[in-house]
Structure 1
Amino acid sequence: MLQKLSITALIGLLSSAASFANADCTYSGGNYYCAQTDAIVYSNVGLSSTYQDVTNMDESSCACTQADFTVSGSLAPFNEELSVHFRGPIELLQFGVYYPNGESKALKKRSEEQLIESCNEQGEAVVSRQKHQHKRDVAVEYVQVTSTVYVDGSGETVTADSTNTVVGPAVPSSYTQVSTVLSNTAKTSATPSPASSSKTTTASSAAAGSSSSSSSSSSSSSSSSSNGDWSRGSYFVPGSTSNCTFMNNEGGSAGSGVWSSCFGNSISFAASDGTSGAASAQALGDVTLASGNEFMIFSGDECSANNAECGYYREGIPAYRGFGGADKIFVFEFSMPSDTSGSAYNQDMPAIWLLNAKIPRTLQYGDASCSCWKTGCGEMDLFEILTAGSDKLISHIHDGQDGGTQDYFDRPTDGTLKAAVIFNSSDETIHIIEVDESFDESLSDDVVDQWLSKAGSSAALP
């Protein structure tokens, strides 16, 4: 049942279905899916806002206190330290984090004229800020949509505008209306793959909104190779890690972390199986995590009283810093095989996502007042299955600029998917890209430029 809506909202609801039909999107399991893609770009990411930061967790009263915490700058709040989270079924074969050495050429901001020139040279679609301009027989299409998000009584969001209309996943109820903008690349070919055989055009949804100025937060990384333009500060392959700490939510069960009747299990060191707790840090083994199980990765740097970036964290936990800085690259290689034998909760719904690292250090699941999540400190879903058994991986952002896309990556049930996630503060973009290159100790600007070019950079947004 919808809440009472304005005439504008009702018009948005009515136009939504028509727009999706015109866009050749399909509706499955409560979600819309449009075109298969190998690259998504969130543009105009970053805002000035205040979220509620946890300042204390009182075991005697089972209550948490919060205080205003202000963020600003390009990519805020994702320029703060982030933890990396995984849900099974998943096998992680590689993970790494890179930071720029000095001023990397790959982070030089492209002008709108350069983008249009590049698109014209490749015979690809050129995007107007006012409307879509499509060319026939193109391999890649760049889409920009401005829309308004409305929230219905069940928590579902509906977005609408005069040129394109989309429906997105649920968002916190505090976000009742958000203006958002998306730029993404979607792949449509003359001989589409089975996963996208019914798709003939690109459709999109909302992604990122208002911008702000200064950048904050420092990176948490160990010393590494400096021969390239980007140094690998953290790296993992099964059985071996450098500057990575694997954790899960098994606190108090196996020698690390705590449990209480108020707040339940805290985070703990993860054992090599990824599922059990451990007394000390261990490298994840060569394992496939079953459905419903989760683990997370922090850096190898412990929090201390001198680490302002860590903020408050629950007493008695193994507290480690996340991966900070406005400019950074996460790389992944993973498989997401089908699995119906695990937990019925989130069964066969694998996911990889980022959280503000303050969230798991207080309370990832539970009382909303014991986490900054609800008030917008930041979550970014990189690759998420929304319905059991689906083969379509969706991306979405949850913060003050809540938005996402209904275009999807193909789930790697057989074989693996290699991907890079590039945080580029100079033009306020976040790129999620399928890649083929090796994840060496350093990356050259040429490689990163190729990745950015493949994803396509947005024109400057108003």
Structure 2
Amino acid sequence: MKISTLSSTVGLLAGLAKLVAADCSLSNDGNYYCATTNAIIYSNVGVSATYNDVTLMDETTCACSSQQVSFSGSLAPLDEELSVHFRGPVNLKQFAVYYPANGASLKKRDNVAEEECAEIVTKRKHRHKRDIAVEYVEVTATMYVDADGQTVTTGTGEQQPTTTQLVNDINVAEQTPTTTQQNTVATEQTPIQQTTPTTTTLSNNNYPPATTTAQQQETTTANTIATTATAPSSSNTNGGSVAVGSWERTSYFTPGSTSNCTFMNNQGGTAGSGTWSACFGNSISYAASNGVDGAGSAIALDDVTLKSGQEFMIFSGATCNGNECGYYREGIPAYHGFGGNQKIFVFEFEMPSDTNGNGYNQDMPAIWLLNAKIPRTLQYGKSECSCWETGCGEMDLFEILSNGSNKLISHVHDAQGGGTQDYFQRPIGNTLKAAVIFNGNDKSIHIVEIDGDVGATLDQATVQSWLSKSGSAAALP
């Protein structure tokens, strides 16, 4: 939300007036929704700023140290390596990542009308259990409503859950790790040791995924591609050449088969991969084929539907060697994410209803992207132990905000922040196929519904047709 010399209350009332004029409505869940859309277009994505990059997770003192790093450029920091996250109820039917091949390049968009977004404050429930602001034209700070109903303005946009939100009076130090102990941390810890911040400049890491692991190659089907560590090759496994201006699929998943995708969750220390400690709880680990349990090696996800609150994530098939991935928690299976400011993600998924139980995030599925550094240190727990709170990057692609809703909202959370209250229809009883196009040439990110099959390559005409789809506009400051 743009913060001006006017009071926050005046700004809120003005925002509400805009919503009324725009025929948006307040739902019973406390969120505002506008219209159904088949495309969301983020423009002016990318900012020059800093975040705190974790440099040490000390198991002796239970403290995390960090240093300040700077970033800038088109789509920054979302041009850094990203991991892809899923929360149930969800059934993933297809996932693919494409990179330019043979000179392919996304063109700048022409004459795309950017709708003015209303300024409103809503209460949102999420995996971070946050109450935050949505719908921005310019964002220099974020307003949210705290647990006592008080309006609070911050400069970071959102807050991770505290220890007591994750663990209800549980002394983790007295427990041994189990598969039900996911995302737990100790309730009382030694204060974080503050170090004098230094500044490091990050270069844009256009890191295409690397060759699949041996475990993954065993499950690779004939129509998937194993790529090199430098760039997509000029031919595919079907024997045909990749046309000039086309996009090559570098990662691919269908149930039971995967190429250059590594499935993980937060079950470290329970089943042969990752680690657990009283200080930091469960780390990331390989995910079993059911997506819920841990595993000792990389395994393809089966055709499974995760229940409410259950989560898994996807990294590339390239392991982190040396200092390639920066600092990460000791003892984890560390993999590269998907980097670069020109890339395309394709999803096909179903989000069925889940009315059983009343657990955290009940019947609130979501698909989102995180800076891959976050899960490699600590996705849930102490805020000082990941770069998330200081704005290293999150993008919610498809998120249900309240129990049982059928409206999928998108939002960006970093030093900019922004989104739209237009929504995709939740796929219940059917699947939704969508492409997420990162276009560094004009600083835009497109989320669009698509039809038809996608193969080992995408021709430029297909990609440009996706880019030309009109929909809800979200201009970042």
Question: Residue in 2 aligned with 1:157?
Answer: 133
Q: Out of 320-329 and 343-352, give the one that drifted further.
A: 343-352
Counterpart check, 1:218 vs 2:233: no
Structure 2 residue 367 is the aligned partner of structure 1 residue 379: no
TM-score by length of 1: 0.78
Aligned mate of 1:393, from 383, 405, 408: 408
Separation in structure 1 between the aligned mates of residue 463 and residue 145 of structure 2, nearest angstrom: 31
Cα distance, 1:404 vs. partner? 1.0
Q: Do the aligned residues in 2 keep the contact of 1:359 with 1:371 (CA within 8 Å)? A: yes
- Give the SS at the match of 1:115: coil
Per the normalisation by structure 2, the TM-score is 0.76
Tell me, what secondary structure is at the counterpart of 2:469?
Answer: helix
SS of the residue 1:143 aligns to: coil
Residue 331 of structure 1, CA deviation: 0.3
- CA shift for structure 1 position 95: 0.1
Residue 193 of structure 2 corresponds to none
Q: Where does residue 59 of structure 1 map in the other structure?
A: 59
How much has 1:315 moved relative to structure 2? Answer: 0.1
Ranges in structure 1 where 5+ consecutive residues have no aligned partner: 117-126, 128-141, 179-213
Query: Which residue in the other structure is 1:452 paired with?
Result: 467
What are the ranges of 5 or more consecutive residues in structure 2 without an aligned counterpart? 124-129, 159-201, 211-226, 228-232
| Structure 1 CA distance for aligned equivalents of residues 40 and 400 of structure 2 | 16
Q: Deviations over 1:156-187 (max 9, x none)?
A: 4377889xxx9999999642799xxxxxxxxx
> Which amino acid letter does the alignment assign opposite residue 157 of structure 1?
A
- 1:230 corresponds to 2:226: no
Alignment length, in residue pairs?
389
Change (3 A) 1:409 1:98: same
Matched to 2:155, the amino acid is Y
Structure 1 residue 440 and structure 2 residue 412: aligned? no
- Indicate the larger mover: 268-277 or 437-446: 437-446
Residue 312 of structure 1 is matched in structure 2 by: 327
Superposed, which structure 2 residues align to 1:130-169 within 5 Å?
143-145=115-117, 155-157=131-133
User: By how many angstroms is 1:349 displaced?
Assistant: 0.3
Query: How far apart in 2 are the matches of 1:389 and 1:358?
Result: 31
Q: Is the 8 A contact 2:137 2:475 kept in 1?
A: no
Q: Return closer, same or farther for 1:461/1:10 CA change in 2, 3 Å cut-off.
A: closer
The alignment partner of 2:16 has SS state of helix
Q: CA RMSD in A?
A: 3.1
Aligned ranges 1:20-419 → 2 under 5 Å = 20-28=19-27, 29-105=29-105, 107-110=106-109, 114-115=110-111, 127=113, 143-145=115-117, 155-157=131-133, 174-175=154-155, 216-222=204-210, 223=227, 225=236, 227-228=242-243, 229-307=246-324, 310-341=325-356, 344-419=359-434
Distance of 2:460 and 2:136 partners within structure 1: 39
Identity %: 61
Change (3 A) 1:438 1:169: farther
Query: What CA deviation, in whole Å up to 9, does each residue of 1:87-140 have, x standing for no partner?
Result: 0000000000000114324x1224xxx426xxxxxxxxxx4xxxxxxxxxxxxx
Question: Per-residue deviation at 1:22?
Answer: 1.7
Q: Structure 1 residues 85 and 434, CA, compared in 2 at 3 Å: closer, same or farther? A: same
SS of the residue corresponding to residue 446 of structure 2 reads: strand
The one-letter code matched in structure 1 to 2:31 is: N
CA distance in 2, matches of 1:239, 1:275: 15
Q: 1:257 to 1:436 in 2, by over 3 A?
A: same
Cα distance in 2, alignment partners of residues 406 and 115 from structure 1:
22
Please tell me the residue identity of whatever aligns with 2:298.
A
